[in-house]
Chains A and B, each alone.
Chain A
């Protein structure tokens, strides 16, 4: 089954404690991206990757890091999380080089206290 898997689905943590949200896709997609969704602000792109070892900033990259060492994985790293990073996060992927996220993960709800 084609899918994008995010882990964890839910996380409550404290300010400053480094965390990683993993994202893995089994469709051999080149394009992967991360979004955060906040009430009243909608869905905003954090980072995206067109291929292995190629990553670019989206609209709200501050406070986040990503890496794309393998085609299937695109982890989101919060080196020093802060309460303003409390949000619902989605990972997405699509085939080819088209920026057209077709498959979204189920989301990760992060709460930073």
Chain B
């Protein structure tokens, strides 16, 4: 049974600070890792993909992957109130299904 674990939160972060979201996964065969953002009542939106160990940066977002520790994280720099949402971590082996974590509810306090 593949599992993806996230702290459900809420995680409260002051505006302008760095928000750090974490995710662990159980399947060592996982090859691809994704972060989605979901606003309340809306559909998920893909914000980051990462496939190899290390960091990947895209604007204010940085995804970090450590396959040995089976750990994925998402950093949001200069957090804005508009970043308040639920962040979903998802993993896959590749040509199979996608397993999501339950999500972390992030609140950016103005």
Max chain B C-beta neighbours (<10 A), residue from A41, A56, A59, A106? A59
Max chain A C-beta neighbours (<10 A), residue from B2, B44, B98, B99? B98
Q: Which B residues are within 8 Å of any A CB, using their own CB?
A: 2, 32, 34, 42-46, 49, 88, 90, 92, 94-103
Query: Does A101 sit within 8 A of B, measured CB to CB?
Result: yes
Partner pick for A41 among B44, B45, B98, B102, CB 8 A cutoff: B102
Q: Which A residues are within 8 Å of any B CB, using their own CB?
A: 33, 35, 40-45, 48, 50, 56-59, 90, 92, 97-102, 104-107
Q: Is the CB of B88 within 8 A of A42?
A: yes
Q: Is the CB of A98 within 8 A of B32?
A: yes
When C-beta atoms are compared, the residue in chain B nearest to A4 turns out to be B43
Smallest CB–CB gap between A52 and chain B, Å? Answer: 16
Q: Is the CB of A45 within 8 A of B97?
A: yes
Q: What residues of chain A lie closer than 8 Å to B103, measured between beta carbons?
A: 42-43
Q: Is the CB of A45 within 8 A of B99?
A: yes
